[in-house]
Chains A and B, each alone.
Chain A
Amino acid sequence: MWGSCTAELAKLVRRPANWFMLGIAVVLGLTFTYLLPLAGAAGATSGAPGTDRGLAATMPENLVGNSIGGLPVFLGAILLVLGVLAVGTEYGWGTWKTVLTQGPSRLTVYSGKLCALAVATLSVVLTSFATGAITSAVIASSEGEPLNWPSIGALLTGIGAGWLIGMTWAVLGAALAIAMRGVALPIGLGLVWLLVVQNLLFGVAAPLLDWVNTLQLALPGANAGSLAASLGASDGAPGIGELVGVSQATLVMAGYLAAFAGLGAWLLRRRDVL
């Protein structure tokens, strides 16, 4: 298991596409969380999301909410792609047979992949916190505002919540890749769900239809948005809204994480490797 985990980490770290996605995640996060509110505070009136949040929203005391606010939708989409790539390219490159003939069982390799995805997701979340901390500190210093950081407990809770949300999307990507034995279709369908269907349910259908409103409370998107909102993420961001309590949101996300991981393991174990 440890050998598989280090092998997966070695592949993950050396793959240029993963660093590219991390860069995209950082740029997107900083743009939506800090750059647009700054532009709004400076008088820009483009109507872009976040421009009306005000300068106070970029201060260090909002670090937790700002750092995990992207995970329910756009950062989540990047992590879903990461999960698909970690598993799906093994089919395209014909490397499943190469790896499995070295001796590890399918579930050992799969566990190694989940372990590597957990490390990668934690790295993305920590990077989001670190770049957010630096940016908010620079903004606060330049505005002459005090550096009021969240407590260690709040930071750890936020990192944990972000990790849970991110892992759920990454493992959904892995499960889709196993189910569809590839990369293109899982990424396409995963992104359609995350960026389109989920937003339509959340923003359009739920306010109109009671049963959709009830249904979405059981879906991962609404629970991810609720969890992030409960920790201070701005409800102006896509997918953020405190629809359920923090305990329910945490349990539902953990349930989805376990279900996606279990589905991937079950499919990988019972199917032939062609």
Chain B
Amino acid sequence: MNIPVDTDELTKRYGEHLAVDRMNLTVLPGEIYGFLGPNGAGKTTTLRMLLGLVRPTSGEVRLFGGPPGDLDGVGALIESPGFYPYLSGADNLKVLARYSGTDPLRVGEVLAMVDLADRGKDRYSTYSLGMKQRLGVAAALLKDPRLLILDEPTNGLDPAGMADMRVLIRRLGAEGCTVLLSSHLLGEVQQICDRVGVVSHGRLIAENTVAELRGGTVLHIEADELVRAADLAKRWIGDENVRVSGTGLDLIVEPDRVSWLNRELVTEGIAVRELHLRERDLEQVFFELTGEVAGHVG
């Protein structure tokens, strides 16, 4: 079986700066894979190496088992869309169809898929940011790809456009297209991705299903004397399981220990105003993994 995306110790170094560090990334057929990471983590550089735009310093890239640069059946939108401003949206796609050898009739289909059929004849230079982004996705869909690589596809889209984009990506996934989606929008990734890879400082630091990454439930506590409550909680259940969240604490604790914890806090003279279990969201996991937010107490 040819794996859509398979990298082996993929590395890119710019002088002293290590942009991508021994990345082993695997995207399986038919899945929607979320590629998460803070700005400058190496996501776009990795995607550019997958597409043959950037040459790796070391390591290997294989798309469907083929060598880098063989983009048969691969569509991509990398960072901001780039088009010819003096051509209309449709003419831009027709020019691109010539490069890929795609039937020009496909242009109308992909414009309709991204809801640009009515504006296809307008000059690209008159498009809004969201329309430009949608045209970028249309260009990525031109070849009816088996693998779609999208780098921040919802940039510049309004809420309705973002929802439409999510529906489109889910539909493509349901039709068997493999999607590698890089995004800052964790809620978006949580909603549509089967599996997630988290990148930080050029390294893939976690890779799992969204459900596995989110793990179990979180106990949220609103209490007086928050700092003292946090110190006590850390002593009882460990530093790594206590995190400040807004005006309260998020604790990773088994549900059957909730009443015990409540009793211990009250015994210590801390008034607990609110206490409830909730599921962890991907954002919380992301921050914990990348250390982007100093949310931990202390």
* Chain B nearest CB, measured from A255 CB (Å): 30
Q: How far is the CA of A260 from the CA of B95 in the complex (A)?
A: 26
Sample of 15 more A-B contacts, CB < 8 Å, known A7-B99, A94-B81, A103-B101: A4-B98, A10-B91, A16-B86, A94-B80, A95-B83, A96-B82, A97-B48, A97-B51, A97-B53, A98-B83, A101-B71, A101-B140, A103-B74, A109-B99, A273-B48
Q: Determine the chain B residues whose CB is within 8 A of the CB of A103 once the complex forms.
A: 71-72, 74, 99-101, 143
**Contact assessment for A97 and B82 in the assembled complex, using a CB-CB cutoff below 8 Å:** yes
Q: Does A143 contact B (CB under 8 A)?
A: no
Q: Are A3 and B69 in touch, CB under 8 angstroms?
A: no
Provide the residues of chain A in CB contact with B85, threshold 8 Å: 93
State the main secondary structure of chain B at its contact with A.
loop
Taking CB as reference atom, which chain A residue is nearest B77?
A: A101
Q: Which residues of A lie under 8 Å from residue B78 when comparing CB positions? A: 97, 101
A104 within 8 A of B: yes
Contacts of A86-109 to chain B: CB distance below 8 A: 93-105, 109
CA distance A6 to B95 in the complex (A): 8
| B contacts, CB < 8 Å to A | 48, 51-55, 69, 71-72, 74-76, 78-87, 91, 94-96, 98-101, 136, 139-140, 142-143
Q: Do B98 and A10 have beta carbons less than 8 Å apart?
A: yes
Given A11-B87, A102-B142, A103-B71 in contact, is the A3-B82 Cβ separation under 8 Å?
no
Kindly state the separation between the CA atoms of A97 and B136 in the bound complex, as whole angstroms: 11
Residues of B within 8 A of A93 (CB): 82-85
CA distance A99 to B72 in the complex (A): 14
8 closest residue pairs by CB, A with B: A94-B82, A7-B98, A102-B100, A273-B53, A101-B76, A102-B99, A95-B82, A272-B54
Residues of B within 8 A of A15 (CB): 84, 86
Complex: A274 Cα to B86 Cα, angstroms:
22
Residues of A within 8 A of B75 (CB): 101
Size category of the binding interface on chain A = 20 to 34
**Bound CA–CA A104/B79 (angstroms):** 20
The residue that A14 contacts in the complex, of B54, B81, B83, B91, with Cβ under 8 A, is B91
Chain B residues lying within 8 Å of A96, measured Cβ to Cβ, are: 53, 82
Interface readout for A1-21 with B: 1 if CB under 8 Å, 0 if not? 001101100110011100000
A140 to chain B, nearest CB (A): 40
Please list 19 pairs of residues, one from A and one from B, whose beta carbons are closer than 8 Å in the complex, sorted by A's number: A7-B98, A10-B95, A14-B86, A15-B84, A94-B80, A96-B82, A97-B53, A97-B79, A98-B81, A101-B75, A101-B76, A101-B78, A102-B143, A103-B100, A270-B55, A272-B48, A272-B54, A273-B53, A274-B54
Q: Are B54 and A99 in contact (CB under 8 A)?
A: no
**Which of chain B's residues have a CB closer than 8 A to the CB of A104?**
99-100
Count A-B contacts at CB 8 Å.
Answer: 90
Q: Is B53 a contact of A10 with CB atoms below 8 Å?
A: no
The reply to whether A14 and B96 contact each other, CB–CB distance below 8 Å, is no
Question: Could you tell me if B99 and A11 are in contact, using CB atoms closer than 8 angstroms?
Answer: no
Most buried by B among A11, A100, A103: A103
Q: Which of B55, B74, B143 contacts A272 (CB under 8 A)? A: B55
A6, A10, A16, A109 — which one has the most chain B CB atoms within 10 A of its CB? A10
How distant is the Cα of A104 from the Cα of B72 in the complex, in angstroms? 9
Using CB atoms, name the residue of chain A closest to B87: A14
Contact B86 A4 (CB under 8 A): no
A77 to B142, CA, bound (A): 38
Choice from A3, A95, A109, A274 contacting B84 with Cβ under 8 Å: A95
B52 / chain A contacts, CB cutoff of 8 Å? 100
How far apart sit A7 and B97, CA to CA, in the bound complex (Å)? 8
How far is A93 from B84 in the complex, measured between Cα atoms in Å? 7
Q: How far is the CA of A98 from the CA of B124 in the complex (A)?
A: 14
In the bound complex, residues from chain B placing their C-beta under 8 Å from that of A101 are 51, 53, 71, 74-76, 78, 140
Residues of B within 8 A of A99 (CB): 96, 99
Per the bound structure, the CA–CA distance linking A156 and B136 in Å amounts to 45
Q: Is the CB of A4 within 8 A of B99?
A: yes
- Which A226-259 residues have C-beta < 8 A from chain B? none
CB <8 Å contact, B87 and A3: no
A105 engages B69 (CB within 8 Å) = yes
> Nearest Cβ in chain B — how far from A247, in angstroms?
40
